[in-house]
Amino acid sequence: MTLEFLGDLSTPIMMGILLGGLYALIALGLSLVFGVMKLINVAHGDLVLFSSYFAYAAMTMLGIDPILSLVIGMPLLFVMGFAIQKYLLSRAFAISMEAPLIIAFGISLTLQNFQQIIWSPMSRGLTTSYALVSFGVGGTRVPLAYLLDFIAALIVMFSLREFLSRTYLGKAINAASQDRRAAQLMGINTGRMYALAFAISMATAALAGVFLGLTFPFTPQSGVSFLIIAFGVVIIGGLGSMVGTFIGGMVLGLAQTLGGYFLGCAAQMLIAYGMVLIVLAVRPQGIFGR
Amino acid sequence: MPKKTLLRVSNIDTFYGGFQALWNVSLEVKPQEIVALIGANGSGKSTLLDTISGLIRSAKGGIEFEGKSITTLDPFQIVALGISQVPEGRRVFPDLSVLDNLILGSYNPKARPKKEQNFKIVYELFPILEERKNQLAKTLSGGEQQMLALGRGLMSNPKLMLLDEMSLGLAPIVINNVYKALRKIRERGITILLVEQNVRRSLDEADRAYIMEAGRVVLNGNVADLREEEEVKKAYFGI
């Protein structure tokens, strides 16, 4: 009886960890922008969705594979991110800390409605041949898309961490986030560092959008729900920590699948957000936060 | 033969929000001098350094470095020309290692090729920084952080260093060490503009001094002459 019970548990655990990979992938960019600029980019989810729709357009109109479309999608969002920070947000930062939040909110609403007009509220998906494949691991069927999500998150997490800790540019971004004035006195163009951080965050959002689309169907409203999930991930992991965000994704994914397993589907997000509240109460800086 | 001027500040007015912090301030620093800027809290010394560094723009007047105007340049451009400010309160990057703090000092494109050479100079001056290079900057003592801030400033390969309140909050014995380092920095041919509340100390070290009051330069001259001025005696030495 006990063993059987554990055997059943392997499925939600495996699915929770892999699903956590997708959550982490979405949240890494949010975490980076928060860590560097102390801005909660409420448009992050909609920018992720923008990438999903971009890949959808490339796939349905030109027959380009969604993962391949990232060759254009990532630079496109990188440039968009740079421009958003340089021309919209940086001016708002000069006014107050709340002003950029309102701008981000405006970008979010604009994108949602833009996507609504072009694609209608209908649900879409990046349905490719491999998105539907699944394989067996010890009696558990795992969709290939979930595994791809996890691998992509792992790669992005390690790349960001190495970039921030090893390169001149990464260190300069770090310095600008720790003490802007001192960074300027070291000859760092802090305005450019913020734009670069936002641009990198958007490049990761491009990746997240494609893998999200391969995993789940999406509508123009999906950005908001994924923003809230990503926000939960970042709270659990600790704002600004890349490894923390990755672990936070796993924790939230596991809370969701195990919650669903024990209490039924309707309760899965309840357990996930319950987890966020517990972390906030016990360790408000997050598991890996400083 | 009179040396030509390295830094020339001419008649600048600087505002902080709606408040005027500097009034028609002029100042000159010649190569290889140590010039002290003294005055009470709020007299505008730090504002003057920030205006030179480009952190604040002056509303009127101009600043020249090596004969070229830097009045409208951004801070990162001014650093690349060879002006390095070591700010008040040290402001090391707390969550980066000592080594990374120093590396960031050499961020500007002109300093990067000279990184290894400048590392040697800094480690010779402050061997403790080499010993602690893998520690986070926030775990250093106040004196060590001041050495790190100076070392980080040196890594940018400066011709002119602006040193803001180096001895603030440090024990007397540590202050002696910092000033010892200052003399060695000068021996390397680096010019120094020094802001200090510790007037006795800075007059001991400097060649010339400017005395500021309420955002204006009220007196300036050679240190030896200034010591004889009645006003200076009264205000700073209590005689």
Is B2 part of a structural domain of the chain? no
Predicted confidence at residue B237, as pLDDT, reads 64
Assess contact for B197 and B41: CB atoms under 8 A.
yes
Judging contacts by C-beta atoms under 8 Å, the chain A residues touching residue B156 are: 186-187
pLDDT(A10) > 90? no
Tokens of A42: 């409420």
The answer to whether the Cβ–Cβ distance between B93 and A187 falls below 8 Å is: no
The answer to whether the Cβ–Cβ distance between B75 and A290 falls below 8 Å is: no
Instruction: Measure CA A13 to chain center.
Output: 21
The answer to whether the Cβ–Cβ distance between A178 and B95 falls below 8 Å is: yes
Give the chain A residue whose CA is nearest to the CA of B92. Answer: A182
- How far apart are the C-alpha atoms of A196 and A85, rounded to whole Å? 8
Is B184 part of a structural domain of the chain? yes
Q: Is A281 exposed, middle or buried (0-12, 13-18, 19+ CB in 10 A)?
A: exposed
Predicted confidence at residue B238, as pLDDT, reads 59
pLDDT in tens, A188-232: 999 999 999 999 999 999 999 999 999 999 999 999 999 999 999
User: Which pairing describes strands A134-137 and A140-143: parallel, antiparallel, or unpaired?
Assistant: antiparallel
Q: How many domains does chain B have?
A: 1
Predicted confidence at residue A1, as pLDDT, reads 44
pLDDT(A254) > 60? yes
Mean pLDDT score of chain A: 93
Is B142 part of a structural domain of the chain? yes
Residues (pLDDT < 70) of chain B are 1-3, 231, 233-239
User: Whole-model pTM?
Assistant: 0.91
Is B141 part of a structural domain of the chain? yes
For the sheet with B68-69, list strands across it.
Answer: B19-29, B7-16, B58-65, B68-69
Domain residues for the domain of B46 are 7-237
Residue B161 near chain A (CB below 8 Å): no
Domain of residue B63, CATH code: 3.40.50.300
- How far apart are the C-alpha atoms of A224 and A203, rounded to whole Å? 19
